[in-house]
Amino acid sequence: MPKQTLPQVPIKKGEPAYKLWIFEPGWKGELPLILNPRQLAEQKRPALLPGHRLCAGCAAPIIVKLASFAFRGPTIVVNATGCLEVATTIFPYTSWAVPWIHNAFENAASTGSGVEAAIKALKKTGRLPYDHVDVVIFGGDGGTFDIGFQALSGAAERGHDFLYILYDNEAYMNTGIQRSGGTPPFAWTTTSPVGKVIPGKQQAKKPIADIMVAHRIPYVATATPAHWLDLMKKVRKGIEVDGPAFIHALSPCDRGWRHGTELAIEIARRAVDTCYFPLWEWTPETGYMLTDRSLAIARNPSLKQPIEKFVEVQGRFKHLLKPENRELLKKFQEYVDMVWEDLLKRAVNTPK
């Protein structure tokens, strides 16, 4: 096999533009969590290399990239089947600069549990050359809400020390936009088409993060790539806690949500501004805590925007803007308000 080299890009200061994450045996300490963007650009390199074949403008690699800036040292990534897995590891290519494993669609959490158990066993017998190795699992919404839920629930119950990051693009985008448990009501997908009979998906979105809260695991949070500082801090907290942690990250998908390729971050921002996707974190000690923009909206409700702001930029919701469907839009607004009001009641840092 010929020796492979990473492309050389002239860099005057800082690390080379692309690098593999190699930790010498005996490596100790923790990688710092840098929050200054310029220092970040000089000192950190993402765990995902360019050349992956995710669609232009996909938010999943942004989530992976931001999460990898918060890794604290040697990390093993486990991947559920999904867009991220099929597009980053097309044989014989791999885009991962960190150790990576994929097994099957439904058992990402179980595979992660096994990796974590092996690390524990190696540590016990003194064969692990590092003082800590973290396990981070990336799963799509199909592999988490529906197919992989049993494995995730079991792994959370057994208390393995991993961080599960769900990048939620709200349908089975990889196979052609079929509805999943994560699809919001009234959204168009190929298996919940909009027509005379039904106006898109008729059921609600499964509250996966609340379900993980009900498991009483040490850390649960929601995040979006648009609020990148918030996402990085949450990933670091999730890695640092001892036990399972879960992060639900919204990942706008330009093919499935029918929006322009340049709008992924804008839509994630609008999802938070309209309270469609509130940002919060939960730990058993503190309870629900609103963070970042959602906390600002709770303090000043005039910042909350109507759901039209979120709907108007997406083709999957375009039927909601027709005059005859005004009733549906009202229903959608009521659904979003219901979820938001419920969260405000439970959050401990809501201004009273």
The residues of the shown chain that bind another protein, judged by CB under 8 A, are 1, 4, 6-7, 9-14, 17-18, 37-38, 40-42, 46, 48-62, 65-66, 88-95, 225, 228, 254, 260-266
User: Which residues are bridge partners to 51 per DSSP?
Assistant: none
CB of 205 to another protein, least distance (A): 24
- Which CB sits closer to another protein, 9 or 197? 9
What lies within 8 Å, CB to CB, of 289 at 6+ separation is 280, 281, 282, 347, 348, 349
In whole angstroms, the minimum distance from the beta carbon of 252 to another protein comes to: 10
223: CB partners within 8 A, 6+ apart: 230, 231, 234, 235, 247, 248, 249, 250, 279
Q: Which is nearer to another protein, 248 or 259 (CB)?
A: 259
Question: What minimum distance in Å lies between the beta carbon of 316 and another protein?
Answer: 19
Q: Which residues contact 83 (CB under 8 A, 6 or more apart)?
A: 54, 58, 60, 140, 169, 173, 174, 253
Q: Which is nearer to another protein, 49 or 155 (CB)?
A: 49
CB 91, min distance to another protein, A: 6
Q: Is 341 strand, coil or helix?
A: helix
Taking Cα atoms as reference points, which of 250, 68, 48 lies closest to residue 141? 250
DSSP 8-class letter at 146: I
Q: Are 188 and 194 in contact (CB under 8 A)?
A: yes
What is the token pair recorded at 347? 């959050």
How far is it, in rounded angstroms, from Cα 202 to Cα 292? 31
In this structure, the strands spanning 287-290 and 100-102 are unpaired
Q: Which residue's CB is nearer to another protein, number 42 or number 131?
A: 42
* Minimum CB–partner distance for residue 308 and another protein (Å): 20
Nearer to another protein, 86 or 241 (CB): 86
- Least separation in angstroms between residue 118's CB and another protein is 15
Q: Which is nearer to another protein, 262 or 334 (CB)?
A: 262
